[in-house]
């Protein structure tokens, strides 16, 4: 497949946030994108918006998401490259939920190289598998923008209402226990391979995701500053 990002002339820093479902990628991406001035690009959010809007892409994606499977690469990659062509991506991007397999990682490398860019750093938020089910089954996200909360670990100030934008909170259908098990079973193996891809490129940084949210953010910011300062 020829990977092409489209209109954007150059792309700033590219950070790929890695982690299992429930590791805290969305939580951290929300904090980090503001602090670093990077566009937060989450493929799960893009798919949920397409499902909500009933677009052809949403109709394709829904069955896979409901079964906890990855959406096929052809549609996922096309959607991602289109998003990376939007003007805000020129300032740099924080990817959350992409790549999820090595084919996606390779396409991303090629597409960035075509713009004179590269992935600068891939921080890996590591959380043991036994913690993930509790994280996902207690997760609530907001309707407007997908801001994540947890009923015990990170509750909203007002129950059922997003602190950031005031929209209603809901539980994702794929966060029900049966689908959670399927997602972990299907996706953890390919996550390992993606982690290996970035380790081989020397840009993987592992952060302990079992710490408090604030501490995870500090560790991620330190790891990112370390690499982006030295690479310019």
Which residues are at the interface with ligand ADP (CB under 6 A)?
A: 19, 21-27, 43-44, 47, 64-65, 68-71, 76, 97-98, 100, 104, 135, 138-139, 148-150, 153-154, 183, 209, 212-213, 216
From 62, 118, 172, 199, the catalytic residue: 172
Q: Which residue in this structure is represented by tokens 């997760």?
A: 139
Q: What is the 3-state secondary structure (H, E, C) of the chain?
A: CCCCCCCCCCCCCEEEEECCCCCCHHHHHHHHHHHHCCEEEEHHHHHHHHHHHCCHHHHHHHHHHHHCCCCCHHHHHHHHHHHHCCHHHHHCEEEECCCCCHHHHHHHHHHHHCCCCCCCEEEEEECCHHHHHHHHHCEEEECCCCCEEECCCECCCCCCECCCCCCEEECCHHHCHHHHHHHHHHHHHHHHHHHHHHHHCCCEEEEECCCCHHHHHHHHHHHHHHHHHHHC
Q: Which is nearer to ligand ADP, 40 or 139 (CB)?
A: 139
Shortest CB 8 distance to ligand ADP, Å: 20
Residue nearest to ligand ADP (CB): 44
Closer to ligand ADP by CB, 8 or 207: give it: 207
CB of 230 to ligand ADP, least distance (A): 27
Catalytic residue among 48, 83, 100, 205: 100
Quick check: is 100 catalytic? yes
Known catalytic residue at 139: yes
CA–CA dist 19, 30 (Å, integer): 15
118 is catalytic: no
> Is 48 or 115 the residue whose CB approaches ligand ADP more closely?
48
The nearer residue to ligand ADP, 8 or 108, going by C-beta atoms, is 108
Residue 74 Cβ, how far from ligand ADP at the closest point, in Å? 11
At closest approach, how far in Å is the CB of 201 from ligand ADP?
Answer: 18
Q: Let me know if 172 is a catalytic residue.
A: yes
Q: Given the complex with ligand ADP, which of 134 and 229 has the nearer CB atom?
A: 134
State the minimum distance, in angstroms, from the CB of residue 84 to ligand ADP. 13
Active-site position among 48, 135, 139, 205: 139
Is 183 annotated in the active site? yes
Query: How far, in whole angstroms, is CA 226 from its chain's centroid?
Result: 21
Task: Please give the structure tokens belonging to residue 62.
Answer: 């829904």
Active site amino acids = 25, 100, 139, 172, 183
């Amino acid at each position: 497949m020829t990977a092409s990002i489209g209109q954007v002339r150059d792309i700033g820093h590219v950070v790929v946030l890695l982690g299992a479902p429930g590791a805290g990628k969305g939580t951290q991406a929300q904090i980090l994108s503001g602090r670093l001035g990077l566009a937060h690009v989450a493929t799960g959010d893009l798919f949920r918006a397409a499902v909500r809007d009933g677009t052809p892409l949403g109709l394709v994606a829904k069955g896979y998401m409901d079964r906890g499977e990855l959406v096929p690469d052809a549609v996922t990659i096309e959607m991602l490259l289109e998003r990376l062509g939007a003007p805000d991506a020129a300032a740099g991007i924080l990817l959350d939920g992409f790549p999820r397999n090595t084919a996606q990682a390779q396409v991303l490398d090629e597409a960035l190289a075509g713009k004179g860019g590269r992935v600068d750093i891939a921080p890996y938020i590591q959380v043991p598998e036994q913690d993930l089910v509790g994280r996902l089954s207690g997760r609530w996200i907001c309707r407007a923008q997908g801001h994540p909360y947890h009923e015990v670990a990170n509750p909203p100030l007002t129950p059922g209402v997003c602190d950031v934008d005031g929209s209603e909170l809901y539980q994702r259908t794929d966060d029900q226990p049966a689908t959670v098990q399927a997602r972990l079973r299907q996706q953890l193996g390919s996550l390992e391979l993606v982690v290996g891809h970035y380790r081989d490129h020397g840009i993987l940084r592992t952060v302990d995701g079992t710490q408090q949210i604030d501490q995870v953010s500090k560790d991620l910011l330190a790891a990112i500053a370390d690499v982006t300062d030295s690479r310019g």
